[in-house]
Amino acid sequence: MWRKRNIKKDEAKALQTEYEAEADSGQEARGPVPRKKRVRGLLGKLPPAGTIVHFAVIAAVTLLFLWYLGDAFIFRGMEEPRTRYRDTNRTPAFYQTENEMKQELAVRFPELAGNVQKTYVIPGLKATKSIVGNFHATSMCTSMTPQGMCVTEKYVFISAYCHTHRHNSVLYMLDRETGKYIKTIVLGGKAHVGGMAYDPVHQNVWVSGGTSGAAKAVCYSLEDLENYDIDSKTAVSAKYNYTLATITRSSYMSYTDGALLVGYFSDGMSDLERFNLTEKGGLNAQIYVDYDSVHESVSADFNAYTPGEIQSVAASDPYILLSRSFGIMNSSLQIYRNTDVVDTFSERDAAKIISFPQKLEQVYPYDGQLYCLFESAAYAYRTQPALKIDRVLVFNIDDIVPHENEKKSGKDDILKTVTKLVKWPWNTDSSSDSDVVKWPWNTESGAESDSDSVTSGTGSGAESAASQAESTGSETESIETLAGTVKAGAESDAESAAGSAHAE
C-alpha cells in the first residue's frame, strides 16, 4: 500500500516536470498546469512594453479628439463662459489687427483678400449687454452669434441671437464712416434674427424673426433705434409686427424697390418670396382672430425657389446675389443676372459663383459696395476648423460681379432672349405696353433707387436682351423671328449630325 502511494507520487512528480519543460520550451501543455505556472504563462503572452505604450498613446489621442469634437460642435453651443465685462465689448474676438486677419485670409482666399476695401469689427462676440426675457434687468451674454446686417445712410446694423437662448436678441449699431461701435439695442424675444433690411423711403429697419414655427417680419423705425437707451432695461418697441402666412420660416430677408425679399433656409430646395410694401411702409396684411388673440397675417406677392442652404439674398441691379453656407465647408456667393431668373434659382444658371470663407451669413449691397457678415468668430464656433472672420468685410461690387467677357454665349442666349421678351402674366403692371418682361423682384420698373442696394428696374435687362438679339444676326425684333432662328438652327444642327453619322 505504501509502495503504491510512492509510485503514484513519483509519477505525478515526473509528469509535472515534463509539463514544466514543455511550458518553458513554448510547446502546448498536455495537461493542467499548476496555478503559479498558469500566471507566468499569461504574463508571457502580453505584448512587449513598447506596444503597450503605443496602445496608450492611441487611446489618449482618440479621447482627446472625441473631447475636442464634443466641445467644438456640441457643448460650446450649450454653455456661456463667465465674463468680467460689464458692457458690450468693442475689441476683436480673434485677430488683434486687421492686417493679421487679411494675412490669414490671403493664405486660403488670396483674390478675396486683395479686394477687401474696408472692415468693421463685430462687437459683442466676447460679451454683450442684454436682458433676459421680460425681466427689467440687464445681463451679460457671452454666446451672441451674428446673423443679419443692413446698411443705412449713417449706420451699419448687425443682428445677433443668444446661442443658448437665455438672453434676448440684439442689434449692434456702428458708425458707417468710422466703424465705431455706438450702442447695443435689445429686441423683444429670443428670435434667430437671421436677416435684416433697410427701407430708405420710409426710414424703417426690418428684422426677420418668429418662434414656434411662425414666420415674422418685424419693423423698427430708425428714429426709435437712434433714441433707444439700454439703461431703460426694456426692449425697443416695434413699429410693425407681421406674421408671414405663406413661408415656413423667415430665415433671411433683404429690401428691393419697395418690397421685402424673405427666404427660408433648408437643406433642399426652398422658398424665396416677395412682399410689397404699402405707401405707409407696412405690409398688406389681413386681420385674423384666433381664439383669444388677434393678429395680422401677410401673403406673398410672388414666390420662387432657391437651392438649399441659402443664408441671404441681395439685389443690386442688374444682379441678384445669394449667399450659401453650412457647417465647416467653404461658403459661396452665387451671382445671377436678374433677367436670367424667372421663378427658380439654379447654380447652373448662375453668372458667377465665388468661394468665400466658412459661415458666411448676410451680404448687403450699398453705395457700390458689398458688405459681408460672418458668424465663424462667435463663441459657439470659435474652436471649429474654420477661418475665423471677426469683422465685416467690404468689397467693391465691380470686383465681385462678372464682367462682360464672362457672359455666356451661344444658342442658350437666343432662347433666353425669347424668354425675356415674353410678357408674363404675373407682371404687377398689367397696363404696361412694353414687350419686355418685368423682373418679378422689382415693383417699379422705372424707379430710381436712393442707393446701389436698391435695384432700379429692368431697363438694363431690356438693353441686355436687345443686345443679345442683335448678336444673333437677326434683322427683326419680333419674337416670332427669334423663335424661327432658334428652330432653324436646331434643324440645321440635326441635319449636320445626321449627315456625319451617315458618313461614318
Query: For 157-192, how does the pLDDT look when each residue is reduced to its tens digit (9 = 90+)?
Result: 999 999 999 999 999 999 999 999 999 999 999 999
**Per-residue pLDDT for 110 more than 60?**
yes
- Strand 240-244 to 293-298 pairing: parallel
| Residue partners of 119: CB distance under 8 A and separation at least 6 | 98, 101, 179, 391, 392, 393, 394
Average pLDDT (282-310) is 83
How much is the mean pLDDT over the chain? 78
Q: What is the CATH number of domain 83-401?
A: 2.120.10
Look at residue 258 in the predicted model and tell me its pLDDT: 93
Look at residue 162 in the predicted model and tell me its pLDDT: 95
Domain ranges in the chain are 16-73, 83-401, 411-503
Look at residue 26 in the predicted model and tell me its pLDDT: 55
Look at residue 339 in the predicted model and tell me its pLDDT: 76
Give residue 221's pLDDT band: very low, low, confident or very high (50, 70, 90).
very high
- Strand 391-396 to 369-374 pairing: antiparallel
**Per-residue pLDDT for 460 more than 80?**
no
pTM of the model: 0.71
Give the best-scoring range by mean pLDDT among 17-31, 268-282, 284-298. 268-282
Q: What is the SS3 assignment for 121-161?
A: ECCCCCCEEEECCCCCCEEEECCEEEEEEEECCCEEEEEEE
3-class secondary structure, 6: helix
Q: What is the largest CA-CA distance in the chain?
A: 132
**Alpha-carbon separation of residue 3 from 6, 17, 246, 376, 430 (angstroms):** 5, 21, 106, 91, 126
Look at residue 36 in the predicted model and tell me its pLDDT: 52
Look at residue 412 in the predicted model and tell me its pLDDT: 45
**Per-residue pLDDT for 390 more than 80?**
yes
Q: How many whole angstroms separate alpha carbon 420 and alpha carbon 413?
A: 10
Look at residue 444 in the predicted model and tell me its pLDDT: 44
405 secondary structure, DSSP code = G
**pLDDT tens digits along 77-101:** 678 888 999 999 999 999 999 999 9
Give residue 294's pLDDT band: very low, low, confident or very high (50, 70, 90).
low
Is residue 318 reached through a cis peptide bond, with omega within 30 degrees of 0 on the bond before it? yes
Tell me the percentage of the chain whose pLDDT exceeds 70. 66
**pLDDT tens digits along 474-489:** 444 444 444 455 445 5
Look at residue 268 in the predicted model and tell me its pLDDT: 84
Regarding predicted confidence, which is higher, 48 or 327? 327
